[in-house]
Structure 1
Amino acid sequence: MRWSMKRATIFAVLLLLAAGTRAAAESDDATAATEGKVASLIEQLGDPEFAVRERAQQQLIKLGFDAFDALVEAEDNPDPEIALQAGFLVRHIRSQWTRDTDPRAIRKILEDYEALGDDERLPKIKELAALPDDQGLEWLCRLVRFEKSPVLSKQAALAIMERKPADEAAWDHRAEVIHRELSRARRPAAQWLDAYLKMHEDPAAGIDRWAELATSEQEILAQHPRQSSSQIVSALLRRQVETLDALERSDETAAVLRRMVMCERGDSSSLVELINWLVQRKSWDAVDLVAERFAASFEVDAILMYTLCEARLAQGNRELADATAKRALEIHGDSQQEHLELARRLTTHGLSRWASYELRHVIGLGPTGSPWDTDARRWLATYYHDKHRDLEAGDLLRQLLDAVESDPAVKQRVRAAHQQQPEVGLATLRSDMNFYLASHAAREGNLEEQRRLLDLSLEQNRSNVEAIIALYEITGDDPEKRAELAKYSADFIEYCRSRIDADPNDPTYYNQIAWLVANTEGDVDEAIELSQQSVDLAREAGDSPSRLGGLLDTLAHCYFAKGNYAAAVRTQEEAALLDPGTDAIDRALARFREHLDRQNREKE
């Protein structure tokens, strides 16, 4: 019996192998037939008969991207009629990046893609890559192969590689799609993806091929700078370094790191990205080399300077970090407006620590109550609250409000600031102050004082969402107060809906409703939908990473309220990556993971 079973098994395996070989041969035959048909149709584009030319053109349009590569080559055909018609067809096919049967999310992202400039196309590529579970992979591969810009073709490939598959099944799916879409592609970016898959299967066997491709791209950058960029070369070299690390060939990494630094062109965003990556792997010698090579750029660019401050702190050199920060502070002199704008940019770069440094400088410049001073105090108070430094947050606003009461000039300045920013009135400032002081009382264990201050906060501003949420959390045994809070929430939600009607493309009020419901009570399913809309709108608008991280934080809280802890963790992990400077996101992520772990243990 065992022998017959063994023979049957071997026979079945042989049948499968034969079927696979036959399928591959049939696929190759089909490909050859298609290529032959395309070549024949292209020749017919130059036929003397109009009807023949027209029929060939329509059939090539139906073939679409299957005919694309041959049509691109035909643009250089010696027959001017063929070259002209091939050029027209290439442009026509490129305008049809999606089909009616493609998913709605894909069609929305790639809508009018061909009419966009290169700067507008890159965010679309990132949107495709950000779709969960490689949902945008097929269309990213299409861009790798057919995007007219070689730089964007390469950016699409990098976007694919930057998103790591969750498990081996996801890797298998990614490999299948890449092979299906790019098996006949000859562009450099397609070669990268082939090498990337091989390097995943066998890093030791694939690293040399990857090194060759990285070197080739560095040469392209030197000889044809419009076909590449320092960021692209740096991304390839970075993957080379990471693979060498995994292979424990660290003796080879120093030379590659030096190449990364030497190929940099000195633009701010690229240098910031490089320094952050070098800090993550503690490559201090390479950080020093960057600072030395681009010293002149650092001295006039505060973002670069503060990025270097963060690197020095990570290195353990607080003294050098402080000295560097002092030089960064001097770049914008006494211009409060420029320091505030810099603080905003620092926040989007995940450098909230140094944004607070700039905000304290704005407050120090005075005068108390000016629009700049008021803005800086409110913003810095928010930062302190995130760091659980609520007494400092409350004191910042209390100092301003005390000055309003004692100095008519300060009151006048605050009123002037209120005219510029209607949401920043005295009542709002008092409400925020009392909320922060209530948060401090809660951490001190003084629940009676917390309740008193939260009641005060809502008396001064019934739309203070954070105060509503905090009071909701501590009034479970007070149905009368809960009913009052429900009225405040309903009024606020109605206001948000009116703002959505007025401007449906602003993600703010979708997010506000979702945040309130997720942290109190209401229709959680609708909250998830509204929150997802806010995220989609922010992605489409190309909002900053920190802004998107905050919106994803809300979506994660919605999933948590629904009891979908896996989705909450997954979403919050992305939020933490996008907004690494916000401690509240990290605290929530720890809480979500704890609930997910408990849920998984209970299932076992």
Structure 2
Amino acid sequence: MLLPLLMASCLPTLAAAEQVSAEAVQAEAELQAEIRHWIEMLGNDSYAKRVRAKKELRRLGLTAFDLLHQASTHEDSEVAIAARHLISSLQINWADSSDPPPVKEIMEDYGTSGNEAERKTRIGRLAQVPNRAGLAALCRLVRYETSLRLSRDAALLIMQQPQLPTAVQRTQSADTIISLLGANQRPASVWLRVYADDLRRGVYDAQRWSELIDRERSLVDGRRSLQTDTEAVLELVRVCAVRAQDANNQAEAMRLAMETLEMIPPGRNELIEAATWALDHQLDAVVIKMQQRQPIPFSKEPLLLYAVAEAYLGQDDPQQADELAEQALSIDRLPAADSEEAQNMTRDARENLALRHREIGVRLQGRGQFEWAINEYRHIVDSLEIDVVVAAVTRQQLARLYGSMQEHQAVLDMLLPLQQRMQNDAEYQRRLQNTNISPSSLAVVIMHHRGLLFAEQNQVEKAQQSLANALALSNRNADILIAMYRLPGEEEWRSKVRRELDAMTTMFEEYVFANERDYRESNSPTNAEQLATALNQYAWLVSNTEGDYRRALRYSQRSLELQPDDPMLLDTCGRCYFAIGDYKNAVRLQTRAVKLGGEDPAVHRQLKEFQAALDASAESSS
């Protein structure tokens, strides 16, 4: 759509604005006065004058946007309603001709979407476009998005983007923000002007932000503005706390985080979200303070108790942490399978309790609290008969976790009873069809981990046989072949492994070529994901065995271009850097993988391996 007037991208930069002539200033003042006049006429008693006012304001287009937005809360309801209608009718080019293709794609038909959730998703995608390429589009959203909530979301996402490394880049971003916001006085625009000033000076101005937050809070507490609310201020304070941390001002970050306690709604989900945020930013004292302020809701909710337990771990108090974790596990415990209490409960009631414990286990695993997650999973496995579907699914999930922790006997203990039951009970096998548990998949995992267990026990021939059998059933499983490659053996074994390695490497290379062709023909999200997977398969196999390590690194880097910040792909890229001896970048990528995909113990273990190599390299060179 074309704009009735030039967009904000045509506004002068701050430097140019300082040179604006007196005549231009006077012209702008007169224009603003004209807009205010027509807005007031929207409430005139004369129908003809109201119609004339609407016509003139439409003619003025986006020039009138800011004052129309202010008028949307006018004390005269007729003026307010007319102003809102005029705002909704303004035509806005959400994508500018200067925007890069990814931004244009995200913003295509943005103005036609009446779904706020969809628009919010697009705003989030804009913030993820590399190199801040979505900054200009986000600034337009801050200024022109009719939803104040989405306008604030866009501003906060801008403020949460990674710190720019050079003064030139920071100044360029600040100039973009100032030029696009113009004279807009929305709360989000006010926040961004302060942020832009911080960018220019390369600081976090704690005093200025504190004053701004106090002003926002006073507006909320006094109910003196419809343009802000407690939720908006809470998010602003959290963003400021993180920015204070980034500026190495931990005391200010803690002060701001403590200030949020009065703004957190009392609901279960809100408390969990607040505790999670604090833990994610190493603000452990905030979680402990939350429990002290609201002991009753914390005592009834396992996830909140686990959050406090994690906070005590961060405070180097593992005894208190384990006591709280045990208290959390005891809430809504499942009765023993053969107990009278279990007999008196319906099957559905027991399964619902089990699902709740499983959900908690998944959350704990995602936070890297593996032992607590195992306790939750084991509670289900130990309390339910194996023929209960949720018990079977939990066995599989627990086996995966044990496998990532290299506890191969524990994997077998979980899966062998499941395999035996499926072999002897066709009806049970049918009931598990929708769970991704099949006799063939179980056989592969059991053979794989049995082989790894034999290798640990130095039973090399048995290990070779088990792993070879597993690979025969799953000839695309790179992890099995990697385990075979790492096994000692005679020349016959080494030759067999090399043949398998050549065949799988060639197969994965062909997958890359085929998916690259499909992606070039249609670069859809599905094709991008499939190509990234093919590239990752090759890179993971080669970087863990032998071959063209440089090509593996290029493939891994390409996969991350297609699927940025995918933890699995980051994990592979870290391994590729490690393979070529670049331990610094290996640690950098792996640290990012742990942050984004902390639910896999193998990712943590690989980081320790890379860090040890980096430390050893530093010692040898000193």
* TM value normalised by structure 1: 0.73
Alpha-carbon distance in structure 1 between the residues aligned to 2:582 and 2:130: 16
Which residue of 545, 563, 567 maps to 1:549?
A: 567
**2:480 alignment partner AA:** A
The SS at the match of 2:386 is: coil
Is 1:173–2:172 an aligned residue pair? Answer: yes
Alpha-carbon distance in structure 1 between the residues aligned to 2:163 and 2:204: 21
Q: Which runs of 5+ in 2 are unaligned?
A: 1-13, 42-46, 335-352, 488-492, 543-547
Q: Report the alpha carbon displacement of residue 300 of structure 1 after superposing the two structures with TM.
A: 4.0
Is 1:136–2:134 an aligned residue pair? Answer: yes
Alpha-carbon distance in structure 2 between the residues aligned to 1:244 and 1:424: 45
Pick the structure with more helix per residue: 1
Identity of aligned residues (%): 24
For residue 519 of structure 1, what is the aligned residue in structure 2? 540
For residue 385 of structure 2, what is the aligned residue in structure 1? 367
Kept in 1, the 8 Å contact 2:66–2:185? The answer is no
Which residue of 447, 450, 475 maps to 1:462?
A: 475
Q: Report the alpha carbon displacement of residue 201 of structure 1 after superposing the two structures with TM.
A: 6.5
Alpha-carbon distance in structure 2 between the residues aligned to 1:200 and 1:233: 22
Alpha-carbon distance in structure 1 between the residues aligned to 2:25 and 2:576: 48
The SS at the match of 1:520 is: helix
For residue 102 of structure 2, what is the aligned residue in structure 1? 105
Is 1:420–2:434 an aligned residue pair? Answer: yes
The SS at the match of 2:385 is: coil
For residue 24 of structure 1, what is the aligned residue in structure 2? 18
Alpha-carbon distance in structure 2 between the residues aligned to 1:253 and 1:594: 32
Which deviates the most, 478-487 or 336-345?
478-487
Kept in 2, the 8 Å contact 1:472–1:520? The answer is no
For residue 234 of structure 2, what is the aligned residue in structure 1? 233
Kept in 2, the 8 Å contact 1:343–1:356? The answer is yes
Alpha-carbon distance in structure 2 between the residues aligned to 1:41 and 1:263: 38
Distance 1:38 1:286, change over 3 A: closer
For residue 294 of structure 2, what is the aligned residue in structure 1? 294
Alpha-carbon distance in structure 2 between the residues aligned to 1:207 and 1:187: 21
Spell out, residue by residue over 1:331-385, the C-alpha distance to the aligned partner (whole angstroms, 9 max, x if none): 4443323333333344455555433322111211232254323321221122223
Distance 1:161 1:190, change over 3 A: same
For residue 266 of structure 2, what is the aligned residue in structure 1? 266
Alpha-carbon distance in structure 2 between the residues aligned to 1:98 and 1:130: 16
For residue 151 of structure 1, what is the aligned residue in structure 2? 149
For residue 485 of structure 1, what is the aligned residue in structure 2? 504
Distance 1:248 1:349, change over 3 A: closer
The SS at the match of 1:227 is: coil
Kept in 1, the 8 Å contact 2:478–2:541? The answer is no
Q: Report the alpha carbon displacement of residue 290 of structure 1 after superposing the two structures with TM.
A: 0.5
The SS at the match of 1:358 is: helix
**1:236 alignment partner AA:** V
**1:343 alignment partner AA:** G
Alpha-carbon distance in structure 1 between the residues aligned to 2:217 and 2:146: 21
Distance 1:508 1:452, change over 3 A: farther
Q: Report the alpha carbon displacement of residue 167 of structure 1 after superposing the two structures with TM.
A: 1.0
Which deviates the most, 108-117 or 378-387?
108-117
**2:19 alignment partner AA:** A
For residue 452 of structure 1, what is the aligned residue in structure 2? 465
The SS at the match of 2:360 is: helix
Alpha-carbon distance in structure 1 between the residues aligned to 2:613 and 2:453: 26
Which deviates the most, 194-203 or 161-170?
194-203
Spell out, residue by residue over 1:148-183, the C-alpha distance to the aligned partner (whole angstroms, 9 max, x if none): 333332232222222232413333333222222235
**2:429 alignment partner AA:** R
Alignment of 1:39-58 (within 5 A): none
Q: Report the alpha carbon displacement of residue 587 of structure 1 after superposing the two structures with TM.
A: 4.8
For residue 4 of structure 1, what is the aligned residue in structure 2? none
Which deviates the most, 571-580 or 484-493?
484-493
Alpha-carbon distance in structure 2 between the residues aligned to 1:315 and 1:191: 37
Kept in 2, the 8 Å contact 1:438–1:454? The answer is yes
Q: Report the alpha carbon displacement of residue 432 of structure 1 after superposing the two structures with TM.
A: 0.9
The SS at the match of 1:167 is: coil
Spell out, residue by residue over 1:448-470, the C-alpha distance to the aligned partner (whole angstroms, 9 max, x if none): 55443321212233343532454
Distance 1:516 1:159, change over 3 A: same
The SS at the match of 2:18 is: helix
Alpha-carbon distance in structure 2 between the residues aligned to 1:339 and 1:78: 52
Alpha-carbon distance in structure 2 between the residues aligned to 1:128 and 1:156: 9
For residue 124 of structure 2, what is the aligned residue in structure 1? 126
Q: Which runs of 5+ in 1 are unaligned?
A: 1-19, 537-547
Alignment of 1:325-344 (within 5 A): 325-334=325-334, 335-344=353-362
Is 1:576–2:594 an aligned residue pair? Answer: yes
Distance 1:331 1:147, change over 3 A: farther
**1:233 alignment partner AA:** L
Q: Report the alpha carbon displacement of residue 429 of structure 1 after superposing the two structures with TM.
A: 0.8
Distance 1:376 1:578, change over 3 A: same
Alpha-carbon distance in structure 1 between the residues aligned to 2:513 and 2:202: 57
For residue 383 of structure 1, what is the aligned residue in structure 2? 401
Distance 1:208 1:57, change over 3 A: closer
Q: Report the alpha carbon displacement of residue 285 of structure 1 after superposing the two structures with TM.
A: 5.0
Kept in 2, the 8 Å contact 1:374–1:414? The answer is no
Kept in 2, the 8 Å contact 1:394–1:434? The answer is no
Alignment of 1:176-195 (within 5 A): 176-195=175-194
Distance 1:60 1:339, change over 3 A: same
Alpha-carbon distance in structure 2 between the residues aligned to 1:28 and 1:260: 45
Alpha-carbon distance in structure 1 between the residues aligned to 2:360 and 2:87: 45
Alpha-carbon distance in structure 1 between the residues aligned to 2:147 and 2:33: 25
For residue 162 of structure 1, what is the aligned residue in structure 2? 160
The SS at the match of 2:103 is: helix
Kept in 2, the 8 Å contact 1:472–1:485? The answer is no
Q: Report the alpha carbon displacement of residue 428 of structure 1 after superposing the two structures with TM.
A: 0.9
For residue 490 of structure 2, what is the aligned residue in structure 1? none
The SS at the match of 1:163 is: coil
Alpha-carbon distance in structure 1 between the residues aligned to 2:193 and 2:471: 59
Alpha-carbon distance in structure 2 between the residues aligned to 1:566 and 1:131: 25
Q: Report the alpha carbon displacement of residue 211 of structure 1 after superposing the two structures with TM.
A: 1.1
Alpha-carbon distance in structure 1 between the residues aligned to 2:433 and 2:254: 57
Alpha-carbon distance in structure 1 between the residues aligned to 2:474 and 2:408: 19
Alpha-carbon distance in structure 2 between the residues aligned to 1:295 and 1:506: 50
Kept in 1, the 8 Å contact 2:240–2:253? The answer is no
Aligned residues: 559
Q: Report the alpha carbon displacement of residue 291 of structure 1 after superposing the two structures with TM.
A: 0.8
**1:482 alignment partner AA:** L
Distance 1:462 1:283, change over 3 A: closer
* TM value normalised by structure 2: 0.71
Kept in 1, the 8 Å contact 2:35–2:67? The answer is no
Q: Report the alpha carbon displacement of residue 476 of structure 1 after superposing the two structures with TM.
A: 7.6
Q: Report the alpha carbon displacement of residue 313 of structure 1 after superposing the two structures with TM.
A: 2.6
**1:227 alignment partner AA:** T
Spell out, residue by residue over 1:36-67, the C-alpha distance to the aligned partner (whole angstroms, 9 max, x if none): 56876897999989xx9999678645xx4x55
The SS at the match of 1:25 is: coil
Kept in 2, the 8 Å contact 1:363–1:376? The answer is yes
Distance 1:412 1:93, change over 3 A: same
